[in-house]
Structure 1
């Protein structure tokens, strides 16, 4: 029944669109122009000066009288007198025609419709190329924002699943004393556990994801020893993320970057491209993380991405106090042999030569 009802509704809309003819559109235009020029509530009969039941002879007589009043030669300098005189002739022609008068009487009794069909508006207000492009940009941007919103909700539900599953595996979730028995978050201070959560809810065949639960917060551990909050992976969409505004912002930033520094400094702050916000620093004390099997490991310290890049660069930069490979300076190195004894080795070229000789003697 529902598909049939939808089909009937579509057919009714199509019938409404094609219900009006070209002559009807002409009547609509005349009614609007007459009310705009002569005043609200003026109809064809009042404008000509006859009753709705007047005969064709009475309409012709009243038209000749009215046309003398509105003739441009007798009204020099009057604004829009020629348009008023031409409109009077078209109205009289409709009233003198049996078909035209019958069609006008229908709208005279029932009123002129407010929605006059897409064909009427398209023929009167035909869009230009700029209007078409603007409509397409707005339409595609709206669909893009809708897709972003749907993806955000999907990712948020996914994150909620991982958070709840990780907290449940870590023993953070408990059953409340309510009648419905719903699960509520029970804060456990200072407790940290590394858990594995199935990628697919209710099935371990799709693999597992390793997460770290710190109190009520859930983190994703990285190989460089950092923790990233899983709750911050989903970002709410905004209009600036739609394709057109994003493209405009990118082109504006690139164009502004190519300008001289003096011109860039003169740009107001609100017109400058905003820098991407960095993630908030989260420093945790190094404590032990409890594994599911009872073993303990060191908890990595969460840092932001900027600190991570700084640490990588710092580790690659050679230290100023580092001793060159072939430096004659002596350094004391301690190494344990098989017997557990320690012996002191002298560095530099002389020490290397001495060790080679000792090796040959042995």
Structure 2
């Protein structure tokens, strides 16, 4: 039933568009202009000065008399007298024509419709420069929003591919459990894997992308040791991202930043610039940064804690007699520096003593 109702509505609208002819539009304009100039409720017959049942001869006689009254030469300085005189001639021509009079009598008896069809208003619409600019802004903004929406969907599909491929390579969805007789993929918690996903689906020729899978979440690693969630790279489009509103907001905030601080504080909070929320990042600890990138699996948090304790025990330096660690870098450098200085002094002292002894032996001789 709903498609039939929609079809009937469309047919009714089409019928209303093509219901009136060009001559009908002319009668509509004359009726509106006549009532605006001569008064509400005035019709063609009253304006000419005849009855609705008058003959053509009576209409011609009344027209000649009325035209002398409204002639511009006999009414100098009267406002809009030429328009009124020209309108009288068009009305008399319609009433003298059998087809025109028959068509006017239809509206004279039934009334002029309030809704005159889209064709009537479209043919008489004269857009100004401001209307044209507003239409162009709305049209281009709508097209820009459509492009943003298409790009968002494209990026979302791309992100879904990388997430599914990374999880499949990491095996985080490799365990299945039975719920209500159906097998459901269950993510493995607490595991970290570094995987490489082809940039082009099904082909390695386009290069690969390194991703980190933590549990069931997929991240992009950065050189500073941070992980950025790949799911947050695609931002849903909004109306404020379209070019006109974006340009307007940027100009507004730039102008607001140049105002004195007292004026900026008086502006409501919702009209001020708010700092954009930074994307959540996961910072790697030192141990995770030192891990080999080729490692396929990473221990769970509990195993990692045990490993740290073992590393601390194995890396604890042995203490020397004076309480300073024997293998301390600072101690090693200090001790090596002292040894070198002592050996140098011994060499210098040995040289002076030898020379003195040689001089004494020479005197004795």
State the TM bucket, normalised to the shorter chain: 0.5 to 0.7
Q: CA deviation at 1:354?
A: 6.2
Does 2:345 align with 1:345? no
Of 115, 120, 123, 2:118 maps to 115
Q: Which residue of 2 aligns with 1:224?
A: 224
Q: CA deviation at 1:65?
A: 11
Q: Which residue of 1 aligns with 2:325?
A: none
Q: Which residue of 2 aligns with 1:192?
A: 192
Q: CA deviation at 1:121?
A: 2.5
Whole-Å separation in 2 of the counterparts to 1:224 and 1:285: 11
Structure 2: which 5+ runs fail to align?
Answer: 1-13, 68-81, 302-328, 349-365
Instruction: Describe how 1:1-362 pairs up with structure 2 within 5 A.
Output: 21=22, 25-32=25-32, 38=40, 55-57=55-57, 59=59, 90-98=90-98, 100-101=100-101, 104=104, 113-116=116-119, 120-122=123-125, 126-173=126-173, 185-280=185-280, 282=282, 294=296, 296=298, 332-334=330-332, 344-346=335-337
Contact 1:195 1:291 (8 Å CA) reproduced: no
Q: CA deviation at 1:57?
A: 3.7
Q: 1:222 to 1:86 in 2, by over 3 A?
A: same
Which deviates more from structure 2 when the two are superposed, residues 219-228 or residues 28-37?
28-37
Whole-Å separation in 2 of the counterparts to 1:34 and 1:354: 123
Q: CA deviation at 1:95?
A: 1.3
Larger relative helix fraction = 2
Whole-Å separation in 2 of the counterparts to 1:277 and 1:57: 85
Contact 1:149 1:236 (8 Å CA) reproduced: yes
Q: 1:199 to 1:107 in 2, by over 3 A?
A: farther
Contact 1:50 1:62 (8 Å CA) reproduced: no
The number of residues matched between the two structures is 286
Q: Looking at CA atoms only, which structure, 1 or 2, has the larger radius of gyration?
A: 2
Which deviates more from structure 2 when the two are superposed, residues 24-33 or residues 287-296?
287-296
Q: 1:203 to 1:106 in 2, by over 3 A?
A: farther
Q: 1:167 to 1:156 in 2, by over 3 A?
A: same
Normalization by structure 2: what TM-score? 0.59
Whole-Å separation in 1 of the counterparts to 2:25 and 2:225: 74
| RMSD, aligned CA | 5.0
Whole-Å separation in 2 of the counterparts to 1:239 and 1:164: 31
Structure 1: which 5+ runs fail to align?
Answer: 1-12, 68-81, 300-330, 336-342
Whole-Å separation in 2 of the counterparts to 1:151 and 1:205: 25
Whole-Å separation in 2 of the counterparts to 1:205 and 1:118: 61
Whole-Å separation in 1 of the counterparts to 2:296 and 2:85: 99
Normalization by structure 1: what TM-score? 0.60
Whole-Å separation in 1 of the counterparts to 2:214 and 2:242: 36
